[in-house]
Amino acid sequence: MKKGKGIQVLVPVISIAASFLIGCIIIAALGANPLTALQYLYKGAFGNVRNLGTTFSRATPLIFTTLCACFAYRCGVFNLGGEGQFIMGAVAACFVAVATGIKGPAAMVLASLAGALAGGIWAGIAGLLKVYRAQNEMIITIMLNYVATLFMGIVYTNWLRDGSVPQTVAVPEETMLPSFFGMRATIAFPIAVICGIGIFYYLFYTSSGFQLRAVGLNSVASRVNGFNVNKYMLMSFLVSGAIAGLGGALELLGTQLRLINGFAVGYGFDGVAMALIANLHPIAGVVVALFFAALRVGSTTMQTATGVPTSVSDIIQALVIVFTVAGMAMVKLPGFQNRLIARAQRKGAKA
């Protein structure tokens, strides 16, 4: 089905183009030259090694939450709790890095593992409720996001507070993740990309991944054909939570260094959006996350240079998701499919 794949790429591309067009109209309405603004946007994201590093660095947490959503949705599980799992991962990592006294590479590894574990457990709560109490995982995971955010609040205002400032003590220098090529980005970025490739391999080249996808597409048929549906559902919660948790840990150790008000705000839903734009393909998800990060990084430069507020780029991002999801639904409509087939037949007749 090469045709089908073509359309799957075409829809997001057209959506992005349309979103940029609307973005340009907004920029023009705000009295700036859209082309100049876009130029600065591009320069800000990719203009030099430093900016590129910033883009990579901003993309890293988004890649993790995107992969979290991808993995869960592939199993038909609507985990909207990427943010909470990300935060719990960061909180666990923070305890290891700040409160245990362990430093250096050992602390990095331990903190990352603790983060993945915490994220997994946090998602596991929703998983258990879904599998054994048939509960709506969307509401539960969202509620757990708020609980996690508040819990983190307790950590930075009370338990690990840094003097009078409501933030935690910083991760010690020895435990900070090393960066590479002198960029702002740390090794968290390659780890994120490797995670993406690993999930791709798992989903499409292993029996277990195959079965997980089958469960996601049709759980009844999967059960009838002998797959342990509950096991896969629970696993998809745990693994997707662990991915987000690892992301939170690496974000703390590599970029943020402290827990503070506003840490990770919106990352969970952003991940969901990006996973959907990527059509749940993990590698496409990495690309989409990079694209969005570039928009965000570039928009700062755009703002300083042209005065166009950064929130324009948020609008563009939101429009991309609005258009992509609608577009994907549209191409699935029977009417559209029939037209497609008819056109293919006409072409066939001509040839």
Partner 1 sequence: MSSFIANLILATVRMASPLIFLALAELYEERAGLVNIGIEGIAAIGSLVGFMISLISGRPGLGVLAGAGVGILVNMIYAYATISLCAEQIVYGMAINIFAPALAAFIYRVYFGSGSELVQANLMITLKQALGIQSDNFFVNLFLDQTPMVYIAFLLVIFTGIFFTKTRAGLNYKAVGEYPKAAATLGINVIGTKYLACVICGALAGMGGAYLTTCYSRTYVDGNIAGRGFIALAAVIFGRWSAPGVLIACLFFGFCDALQIRLQLVNSSLPYQFFQMIPYLATIIVLAAMGIRKAGPKSAGQPYRKEER
Partner 2 sequence: MTVERAPAGGEILRMEHITKRFGAVYANKDVNLDVRAGEVHTLLGENGAGKSTLMNVLFGLYQPTSGDIYVHGKKVKIESPAQAVKLGIGMVHQHFMLVEAMTVFENIILGDEHSRGIFIDRNARRKEIQELSEKYGLEADLDMPITELSVGAQQRVEILKALYHGCEILVLDEPTAALTDTEAEGLFEVMDKLKSEGKSIIFISHKMREVLKVSDRVTILRAGQSVETDSIGDVSGEVLANRMIGRELKPSHYEKVQSEKENVAILTGVSYHRSSKHNGLNDVSLRVRRGEIVGIAGVDGNGQSQLAEVLTGNISPEEGSVDLMGSKVVTYDPNGFILKNVAHIPEDRNKAGLIGNMSVEDNLVLKLTKDSRFSDGKGFRLKWKAVHDYALALQKKYDIRCSSVKEEARNLSGGNQQKVILARELEASPDLMVAVHPTRGLDIGAARFIHDSIIAERDRGCGVLLISADFDEILEISDRILVMFEGQIMGEFSGLHPDIQAISVAMAGK
Identify which of residues 208 and 304 has a Cβ nearer to partner 1 in the complex: 304
Using CB under 8 A, which of the segments 108-116, 148-156, 162-170, 171-179 binds partner 1?
A: 148-156
187: left (phi over 0), alpha (psi -120 to 50) or beta: alpha
Confirm or reject binding of residue 257 to partner 1 (CB under 8 A): no
By CB under 8 A, residue 182 contacts partner 2: no
Instruction: Compose the 184-223 pattern: x for residues touching partner 2 by CB under 8 A, - for all others.
Output: --------------------xxxxx-xx-xx--xx-xxxx
141 binds partner 2 (CB under 8 A): no
Q: Does 165 bind partner 1 (CB under 8 A)?
A: no
Contact between 130 and 140 (Cβ < 8 Å):
yes
Q: Is 261 in the site for partner 1 (CB under 8 A)?
A: no
Using the minimum distance from each CB to partner 2, give the nearer residue, 44 or 209. Answer: 209
Shortest separation between residue 289's beta carbon and partner 2, angstroms: 25
CB of 333 to partner 1, least distance (A): 6
Instruction: For residue 132, give every residue at least 6 positions away whose Cβ sits within 8 Å of its Cβ, in sequence order, or none.
Output: none
| Options 138-146, 184-192, 210-218, 281-289: segment touching partner 1 (CB under 8 A) | 138-146
String marking each residue 218-257 x if it binds partner 2 according to CB under 8 A: x-xxxxxxxxx-----------------------------
At closest approach, how far in Å is the CB of 211 from partner 1?
23
* Residue 344 near partner 1 by CB under 8 A: no
**Applying CB under 8 A, does 25 fall inside the site for partner 1?**
no
Interface with partner 1 includes 135 (CB under 8 A)? yes
Binding mask 100-129 for partner 1 (x = CB under 8 A): -----------------------------x
For residue 255, the minimal CB distance to partner 1 (Å) is 22
Cα dihedral across residues 303, 307, 313, 318: positive or negative: positive
> Taking a C-beta distance cutoff of 8 angstroms, is the pair 196, 290 a contact?
no
Kindly determine how many residues on this chain lie close enough to bind partner 1 according to the rule CB under 8 A.
47
Nearest to 204 by CA among 147, 263, 274, 281: 281
Q: How many residues bind partner 2 (CB under 8 A)?
A: 24
Q: How far is CA 31 from CA 18, 25, 301, 302, 308, in A?
A: 20, 10, 17, 14, 9
Stretch that binds partner 1, among 55-63, 146-154, 191-199, 290-298 (CB under 8 A): 146-154
Closest by CA position to 267, among listed 213, 317, 304 = 317
Interacting residues toward partner 1 by CB under 8 A: 30, 78, 80, 129, 133-136, 138-140, 142-147, 150-151, 153-154, 157-158, 265, 269-270, 272-273, 276, 309, 311-312, 314-315, 317-319, 321-322, 325-326, 328-330, 332-334
Interacting residues toward partner 2 by CB under 8 A: 1, 204-208, 210-211, 213-214, 217-218, 220-228, 338, 341, 345
